[in-house]
Amino acid sequence: MLNQLGYYSLIFGLLFSVLAILQSIRPVVNKSNLISKNIYFSIFLQFLFVILSFTFLTSSFVTSDFSNLTVFNNSHTEKPLFYKISGVWGNHEGSLLLWLLVLTLFILIFVITSKKFDNKYRLLTIFFQEIIIFGFFLFIILTSNPFTYLYPVPSQGLGLNPILQDPALAIHPPILYIGYVGTSLVFSSALASTINKNINSGWAKHIKKWVLTSWIFLTIGIMLGSIWAYYELGWGGFWFWDPVENVSLMPWFCLTALIHTLLVLEKRNQLKNWSIILAISTFSLSMSGTFLVRSGILNSIHTFANDPARGLFILVFLFLLVVSAILIFFLYSKDENKNINWFSKDALIIINNWFMMYFLSVVFIGTVYPIFLEVLANEKISVGPPFYQKLIIPFLIPFLLTMILSTRLRWVKDNIYKINIKQISIFTLMSLLTIYFLNISDKNYLFASILISSSFFLFFNSLNDFLKKNIKLSQKISHLAFSCLILSILLNGIFSSEINTNMKEGDQINFEKKIIKFKTINFEKENNYKLLRGNFELVRPGKNILSFYPEIRVYDQPKISTSEADIKTDLFSDNFIVFSLLNDEGVFNVRYQNKPFMIWIWISSIVLAIGGFFAIVRK
Amino acid sequence: MKRKIIFILCIFLTIFVFLSFFMGLDKDNVYKPIKIIDNKILNFKGDDLYSNKILDLNNIVDTKFILINIWASWCSPCRSEHKYILQLKKNQQLSIIGLNYKDKVQNAKNFILELGNPYDFIIKDKSGTISIELGAYGVPETFIVNTETKKVIYKYIGPIDKEIKSEIEKIIRS
Amino acid sequence: MKKLIKLILMISLTFLNPVLAKSNDEIANKISKNIRCLVCQGQSVYDSQSDFAISVRAVIEKKINDGSSEEEIYEYLKSKYGEWISYEPKLNKFTYLLWLLPLILFIFGGLLIFKKVFIRI
């Protein structure tokens, strides 16, 4: 019953999206540019039907209705309610429905909030957005219907993957999708304003809100994913340069560049074409990300169930979108006269973009190059952390230094002597000294210490900026948070220490003046899994003793065993113990890690997003 | 004019990217190791399962071919391939060496008692390091070495079935 | 401000010194982070608990104790399993573009900015 209702809601939604496409393009073609009441009506109904369909799927999950194939594959009667609900979007079909829900919600919000803009621009934006929505409707109905009927009805489901039963991961996908979907609106709006030729500071102000919203959600989404990887997947790492992680990072770089470019557009009415190019690329990157993840073309820990048919659909759809975007851009955009002084805030923003595009290209090339090489030369290579670190880290130093300058320069043109020459010379001297000292020892630490010095430099400068009145609050917050983020990532990377050893119950080992004791091991039984709980003690000189209870879980449905780390967090460092069974004779592989400033990575990411929030709220 | 060139370049680049993605869709992203048949001279030492003496591959066989089979008592596909290995034992040209992967000695002995012993020698690989040195992925896995050239000439990952068995026999005869 | 910066430099220098000496364990961890677990989905040997990964770690430790250098161990594993096992692709005719394209784009972008965007003074 719920199956049919959900499916027909989707069909009705599809019909209204077709209606909205026709209603939005007709007034543009016959040049009346009138927005009729009907178009509001269609967009509202389309949203209503998607929400209905989503509700039906959710209730199927909550009531464990196994006549639905998606529910059967991804749920189980014994799952807690929270994970039954998160199971709705924890699979391919349901996550697409959620995606569609956000898409239709966003276009509704756009229609309501954009009344002061001219009609042709609004109609065209609705038109492009509705085409994307139409594509998604087709995609769901044709290749990934979440309401497939299953008969005979099984009495029990296959269960949600236990690794995915986690609070951070339950809310990570929706938040990331909101970020992705936001970029689609930026894309449609950019194309519409290219045709309508209303790319000016008014448009910049208006689209900035959407850009910032996507950026905030993307930032938080990426952070949640990496928190999950930190305590669930990884053995202490939080960023693996895994293709799926990279795919979410690419639109982030693009959006960050776009936020800064829009500032120039808003203040100086410059860089119009560049803003449009960035808007188009952001969305294309989000979509190709989806393609790469969903088609199973990548070898990654996070891949969904593979289905080439789905990959083909997204590929063709994306290709049509990108080609038409390029066509529209070349047909309607005009060459613009740029006049930007090389020593001004504007110039620094361009330099910021330059670096962002470089980081983007490194991540993009690193991610897709193995696919290309395999197709064209039949060679298989792996591109992993060393590649990204080697190409990105050296460029961070000049990047951080230009960031320091950014708050110190005025728009249009500034006087070079205004810069505190002393400060710069101190920094140069400092770097030279560091080079001198470290050249003798190890070349790898040369970079590290210059980097740390530059990020400290940026950190204190951003702190100092808080006292100034002429800088926007959002910028103060975000830049401080960013410097804090870079700093904590670097310090964490360099000063992390770990020991990886084999222990039996009752063993103890010494590690860097600390003692790790493996006290006991207990066998316990929980609702849907059995577990081995270890009790470890960490004795640190001059500090309190920490007790750890890491677990090895063996789940019943499906049969998977996982290691649950126990992490003790304080302001300065995380202590992390995880263990796994090595063989039947009671020997365990125990890994202890001390990771300094771990919590600051999360705190600064959140503050970074808060900075974006202030940019939306305050003028 | 310049604009047109950039436009055409953009379109071509897009087509190129999407075409590669399209072709990539058909590719399997699971690693296929057929290409790498290690051509280096192969030799290894290890403890014998029964006598605990150190065995050196060079000194224990005098046939033209050696079949190295990685197995373990806890690996259920190993059970299914065992009868084919027993059949292969009939070939005079072939010595069969078992590499017992991360196993308990008693379980391994029971396994052999139950299913029969096709192996001329069984070498223990308690830590799994010998199989890594062979370039193996896990259990079951089978190599054929030509003792004259000291090269791995055939490698198969997974349980041996009827077809693989006859393929191996063909290689030995040629 | 100046004093603060000097202080930071001093601190970072003193902090970095003890890190310079690397133990065998640390080298083994570093190597296993750069080696792909071939039987897993996109995990490094360091992050995986599969039998394959555990065995590869044992081999790496053995090789280090036998006195092999980091480079030798990578080469050894590559000779057994091919380029696919290493997370750092070697610079060869297949990977020139991979390593150089980002840098070329960076330089190209820089030239474009300085020629087209900035006005001359």
Q: What is the mean pLDDT of residues A198-226?
A: 94
> What are the tens digits of pLDDT across the range B114-151?
998 999 889 988 888 888 888 888 888 888 888 887 77
Residue A105 within a domain: yes
> What are the tens digits of pLDDT across the range C6-45?
566 555 555 554 444 567 888 888 899 899 988 877 788 9
Do residues C87 and C77 lie in contact, with contact meaning Cβ atoms separated by under 8 Å?
Answer: no
Residues of chain C by 3-state class (helix, strand, coil), percent to 5: 65, 5, 30
Domain count, chain A: 2
The count of CB pairs under 8 A between chains A and B is 54
Rounded to 5 degrees, φ, ψ at A456 are -60, -40
Residue A384 within a domain: no
Which of A260, A302, A382 to substitute to test the interface with C, most C CBs within 10 Å?
A382
**CA–CA gap between residue A593 and residue A573 (Å, rounded):** 10
Using CB atoms, pick whichever of B35, B129, B137 lies closest to residue C38. Answer: B137
Which residue in A has a C-alpha nearest to residue C78's C-alpha? A381
Rounded to 5 degrees, φ, ψ at C42 are 55, 40
- Which residues of chain C approach chain B closer than 8 Å at the C-beta? 38-39, 51-52, 54-56, 58-59, 62, 79-82, 84
Q: What is the mean pLDDT of residues A334-357?
A: 85
Contacts B138 to C, Cβ<8 Å: 39, 51-52
Pairwise CB contact (< 8 Å): A381 & C84: yes
The two three-digit tokens of residue C83, written as one number: 């380029």
Q: What is the mean pLDDT of residues A424-430?
A: 67
The count of CB pairs under 8 A between chains A and C is 163
Q: How confident is the model at residue A134 (pLDDT cuts 50, 70, 90)?
A: very high
Using CB atoms, pick whichever of A354, A381, A589 lies closest to residue C95. Answer: A381
Do residues A123 and A33 lie in contact, with contact meaning Cβ atoms separated by under 8 Å?
Answer: yes
Q: Which parts of chain B sit beneath pLDDT 70?
A: 27-43
Pairwise CB contact (< 8 Å): B129 & C38: no
Highest mean pLDDT among A602-606, B80-84, C69-73: A602-606
Which residue in C has a C-alpha nearest to residue A386's C-alpha? C88
A452 against A112, higher pLDDT: A112
Using CB atoms, pick whichever of B31, B35, B132 lies closest to residue C55. Answer: B132
CA distances from A73 to A23, A89, A153, C38, C85 (A): 39, 13, 12, 28, 33
Res. A178: pLDDT tops 80:
yes
Range in A534-543, C2-11, C86-95, C111-120 with the lowest mean pLDDT = C2-11
**CA–CA gap between residue A345 and residue A412 (Å, rounded):** 7
- Which residues of chain B approach chain A closer than 8 Å at the C-beta? 3, 6-7, 10-11, 14, 17-18, 20-27, 29-31, 102, 104
All domains in chain B, ordered by first residue: 33-173 (3.40.30.10)
Q: How confident is the model at residue A495 (pLDDT cuts 50, 70, 90)?
A: confident
Residue A125 pLDDT: 96
Residue that the structure tokens 């139409």 belong to: A134
Pairwise CB contact (< 8 Å): A589 & C12: no
Do residues A567 and A575 lie in contact, with contact meaning Cβ atoms separated by under 8 Å?
Answer: yes
Do residues B104 and B75 lie in contact, with contact meaning Cβ atoms separated by under 8 Å?
Answer: no
Using CB atoms, pick whichever of C4, C42, C83 lies closest to residue A301. Answer: C42
Residue C19 pLDDT: 47
Can you give the three-state secondary structure of A483-551, one letter per residue? Answer: HHHHHHHHHHHHHCEEEEEEECCCCEEEECCEEEEEEEEEEEECCCEEEEEEEEEEECCCCCCEEECCE
Contacts B127 to C, Cβ<8 Å: 55, 58
Residue A454 pLDDT: 80
> What are the tens digits of pLDDT across the range A252-285?
999 999 999 999 999 888 889 999 999 999 999 9
Residue A68 within a domain: yes
- C65 CB-contact burial (10 Å; exposed 0-12 / middle 13-18 / buried 19+): exposed
Q: What is the mean pLDDT of residues A379-401?
A: 89
Residue A430 pLDDT: 64
> What are the tens digits of pLDDT across the range A3-22?
889 999 999 999 999 999 99
Which of B71, B129, B134 to substitute to test the interface with C, most C CBs within 10 Å?
B129
Residue A405 within a domain: no
Query: How far A291 CA lies from chain B's nearest CA (Å)?
Result: 9
Do residues A461 and A404 lie in contact, with contact meaning Cβ atoms separated by under 8 Å?
Answer: yes
Residue C18 pLDDT: 45
Res. A508: pLDDT tops 60:
yes
- Which residues of chain A approach chain B closer than 8 Å at the C-beta? 288, 291, 295-299, 308, 311-312, 315, 318-319, 322-323, 326, 330, 335, 368, 371-372, 374-376, 380, 583-584
Q: Which amino acid does the sequence have at A78?
A: E
Residue A387 within a domain: no
A576 against B33, higher pLDDT: A576
Res. A129: pLDDT tops 90:
yes
The two three-digit tokens of residue A36, written as one number: 């009729």
Last residue of a domain, one of A117, A138, A165: A165
Residue that the structure tokens 């006269």 belong to: A337
> What are the tens digits of pLDDT across the range A287-323?
988 888 777 777 666 655 556 778 888 899 999 999 9
Contacts A345 to C, Cβ<8 Å: none
Do residues A57 and A139 lie in contact, with contact meaning Cβ atoms separated by under 8 Å?
Answer: no
Last residue of a domain, one of A111, A136, A165: A165
Three-class SS of residue B99? strand
Three-class SS of residue A415? coil
Q: What angle do CA C11, C16, C18 make, to 5 degrees?
A: 115
Q: What is the mean pLDDT of residues C81-93?
A: 89
A485 against C1, higher pLDDT: A485
Which of A303, A330, A373 to substitute to test the interface with B, most B CBs within 10 Å?
A330
Do residues B132 and C55 lie in contact, with contact meaning Cβ atoms separated by under 8 Å?
Answer: yes
Residue that the structure tokens 């049919």 belong to: A4
Residue A40 within a domain: yes
**CA–CA gap between residue B106 and residue B128 (Å, rounded):** 18
Last residue of a domain, one of A118, A148, A165: A165
The count of CB pairs under 8 A between chains B and C is 42
Residue B130 pLDDT: 87
Three-class SS of residue B159? coil
Res. A458: pLDDT tops 60:
yes
**Dihedral angle at the C-alpha atoms of A246, A561, A598, A169, nearest 10 degrees?**
60
Residue closest to A129 by CA, chosen among A292, A17, A10, A265: A17
Pairwise CB contact (< 8 Å): A315 & B11: no
Range of the domain at A115: 1-165
Residue closest to A306 by CA, chosen among A292, A298, A291, A295: A295
Contacts of A387 (CB under 8 A, 6+ apart): A241, A366, C87, C88, C89, C98, C99
Residue A352 within a domain: no
